Amino acid sequence: MVLSFFPLELFAKNDPISYDELIGKGTPNLQGNGYKLRTEVNDAFLSMVKEAKTSGIDIRCVSGYRSFNRQKAIWERKYRKYRADGLKPEKAIRKIIEYSTIPGTSRHHWGTDLDLVDGNFIDTPNLLSESNFEKGKPFHKLKLWLDENAGNYGFYEVYTNDPERKGFKYEPWHFSYKALAVDYLKQYKKLDVLSILQSEEVKGSNHFTAAFISEYIEQNILYINPELLP
């Protein structure tokens, strides 16, 4: 896969999606009750929720839009923990990116992505755990419904269980609204990710090499469900 990432100065001011929006520092128009999504995404989500209820499934969004600062707080909390546990910086970073994105690179910054569970089982321990979506577990019925119906509302699973896929581990709860997210990813590919992360002084970023970021982009940002690629 050939990557093309350009310096910020080449990111045109008249591009349809702003630089700040792409990295979670913008002020997008967001809607939602207990979560935030772009208006078009939320409208589609509410339609899907309504339909799922006819099958006895109470779809809940437990995470939608996430700002840069919120993602940074998540990242740095995990980084401090793994370092305190004795992991070297590089190993701590690798551990975090099994499931969590580096701030400034999260799809949740766009207001197009959401994490879903069945509200009928909202008290399930370790809510966003792959095992909860397996046969016989609380969210298996939700998973089957989403597999069959989510695409009808424009939503697609991002990090699939394709054994050949690299990057983030399988997330059966994470869906993205294709009609907007594809354009966001297309614009995101113009950014110089390494320079952004170093300028924002993300904890551990002094251990980000050009080779690491290139691999991270290819595997964690671009190695996703083909339905969501530009």
Q: Return d(Cα 127, Cα 72) in angstroms, integer.
A: 21
Amino acid code (one letter) for 159: Y
- Listed residue (119, 113, 127) closest to 64, CA to CA: 113
pLDDT digits (tens, 9 = 90+) for 30-56: 999 999 999 999 999 999 999 999 999
Q: Return d(Cα 108, Cα 91) in angstroms, integer.
A: 24
What's the gap between Cα 181 and its chain centre? Answer: 10
- Listed residue (201, 181, 168, 199) closest to 72, CA to CA: 201
3 state DSSP class of 177: strand
Q: Find out whether 173 and 128 touch, Cβ atoms under 8 Å.
A: yes
Q: Return d(Cα 122, Cα 62) in angstroms, integer.
A: 10
What's the gap between Cα 84 and its chain centre? Answer: 26
Q: Which residue has the higher pLDDT, 14 or 155?
A: 155
Q: Which two tokens stand for residue 157?
A: 């699973």
Per-residue pLDDT at 198: 82
Q: Return d(Cα 154, Cα 53) in angstroms, integer.
A: 18
Would you place residue 170 in the very low, low, confident or very high pLDDT band (cuts 50, 70, 90)?
very high
Q: Average pLDDT in the 178-203 region? A: 91
What are the structural domains of the chain? 8-224 (3.30.1380.10)
On average, the pLDDT of the chain sits at 92
pLDDT > 70: what percent of the chain?
A: 93
Q: Return d(Cα 227, Cα 210) in angstroms, integer.
A: 28
Per-residue pLDDT at 48: 98
